[in-house]
Amino acid sequence: MNILHCDMDAFYASIEQRDHPELIGRPVIVGGLPGSRGVVSTCSYEAREYGVCSAMPSKQAYHLCPQAVFIPPHIEKYIRVSQEVFAILHRYSPVIEALSIDEAFLDVSGCHRLFGSSAQIAKLIKNDVLEETGLFISVGIAANKFLAKLATNLSKPNGLMELSNDQLIEILPSLPVSEIWGIGGKTAQRLNKAGIYTAADLLEFPRVKLESLLGSNTDFYIQLCSGQDSRPVLSRSDRKSIGNEITFPIDLSDQKEIEQLLLDLSCQVAYRLRHASLIAHTVTIKMRTPNFQTFTRSQTLQQGVDADLTIYDIALNLYHKSGLTGKHLRLLGLSCSRLLERNLEQPALFADENDILDKIIDDMKDKFGSSAIKRGSLLHNKSRNR
């Protein structure tokens, strides 16, 4: 059992409770405020008792729990804490795959001599995180990624669980398909309609019929339902994509405003690429309309990119050709994929003045935080729009 899945408990809400002790024991909801079109980003366990959960519209959360304290997110602060947590994880294994700001897989195969068994490593991580950040992290241990994540979910909050084979045989067959990693709400509904509610149901279902429900992922889900998962823990350099997205408080249709946001997203994603010393060969934009239809447009490039304005030009072009200009949007996203280590590719440092400007902006962001500096055109255009 060499795979650890580590996940901070109610991350944003716990940080707010830590920093504002008067909130301890109270339902806390971090995300959009009740009057807005926003959603719940994280909520404290006290709020979960009222049925509030992540990604729920804030309006609905307010309905369920009007006495909750609603707090807008302080992303800069959460990123700082996340860096502290990841620094702790890096003490215990070099093979770490970040899943999100507060969640990661560790492969501890090579770490037992130094730190002991997987369970001992998990305890060390939990102690360090609590001592150094004042926050709880849950850790699941299993033979593969799917089962380790399952163990964490079963053990939360402040959990530590090593999923033994005996437990697995007991738990897995009756696991609802909606709890299987990667099966989203819509797929789960489709499966339920076909009479598939649990992992055991899925395994008993005729394969050919299953394929019409799960498509090319059929074999993968059959494996997960049997407790198999051969995906390795991928460290940073093996990352598949880097992206950011924004859900708007109100639907947007103004083309200029959307272009501004694309520029903003391009700068954020390009900064993350450069920070990870990566170069991208595909740029994708994602647009979601008010009726929740999602559209993506991609362009694949001969030459890898990591510059703010190059990525912006591609994104802008994709947006203009998307057929969605002037249409209302509720979400806009930008991601870069087909990533390569920068040094594997021709070094293009300081090729032109844009690269130099990117470098200066990066240095400022590193020193003063990413909100400290933005491209002049962003600020200028924003003020022109208002």
Whichever of 154 and 316 has its CB closer to Mg ion, that residue is 154
Whichever of 102 and 355 has its CB closer to Mg ion, that residue is 102
Order of strands, sheet of 40-43, starting from the edge strand that comes earlier in the sequence: 40-43, 28-31, 69-71
CB of 165 to Mg ion, least distance (A): 27
Determine the Cα–Cα distance for residues 284 and 240; give it in Å rounded to an integer.
13
From residue 184, how far is each of 111, 178, 180 by CA, in Å?
A: 34, 7, 9
40 binds Mg ion (CB under 5 A): no
8 binds Mg ion (CB under 5 A): yes
233 binds Mg ion (CB under 5 A): no
Binding segment (CB under 5 A) for Mg ion, from list 7-15, 123-131, 287-295, 330-338: 7-15
Determine the Cα–Cα distance for residues 156 and 152; give it in Å rounded to an integer.
6
97 binds Mg ion (CB under 5 A): no
The DSSP result for 105-117, as a single string, is: EEE-TT-HHHH-S
137 binds Mg ion (CB under 5 A): no
Residue listed under structure tokens 């590193």: 366
Whichever of 66 and 182 has its CB closer to Mg ion, that residue is 182
Determine the Cα–Cα distance for residues 272 and 269; give it in Å rounded to an integer.
5
7 binds Mg ion (CB under 5 A): yes
- Give the CA count within 13 Å in the CB-facing half-sphere of 252: 19
From residue 164, how far is each of 113, 147, 148, 223, 230 by CA, in Å?
A: 22, 10, 11, 18, 18
CB of 366 to Mg ion, least distance (A): 26
Whichever of 11 and 221 has its CB closer to Mg ion, that residue is 11
73 touches 41 (CB < 8 A): yes
82 binds Mg ion (CB under 5 A): no
Q: Of 16, 97, 103, 259, which is the active-site residue?
A: 103
Nearest to 265 by CA among 191, 315, 206, 215: 315
Determine the Cα–Cα distance for residues 239 and 340; give it in Å rounded to an integer.
9
- What does the block give as tokens for 372? 């400290």
Whichever of 8 and 332 has its CB closer to Mg ion, that residue is 8
CB of 7 to Mg ion, least distance (A): 4
Binding segment (CB under 5 A) for Mg ion, from list 102-110, 246-254, 354-362, 364-372: 102-110
Selected binder of Mg ion within 16, 102, 259, 308 (CB under 5 A): 102
Whichever of 100 and 127 has its CB closer to Mg ion, that residue is 100
Going residue by residue from 9 to 38, which x/- string records binding to Mg ion, judged by CB under 5 A? --x---------------------------
Determine the Cα–Cα distance for residues 113 and 210; give it in Å rounded to an integer.
44
Going residue by residue from 193 to 212, which x/- string records binding to Mg ion, judged by CB under 5 A? --------------------
Alpha-carbon dihedral 248, 40, 18, 126, rounded to 10 degrees? -110
> Is 103 known to be catalytic?
yes
How many chain residues bind Mg ion (CB under 5 A)?
4
Q: Interface residues with Mg ion (CB under 5 A)?
A: 7-8, 11, 102
Active site residues: 103
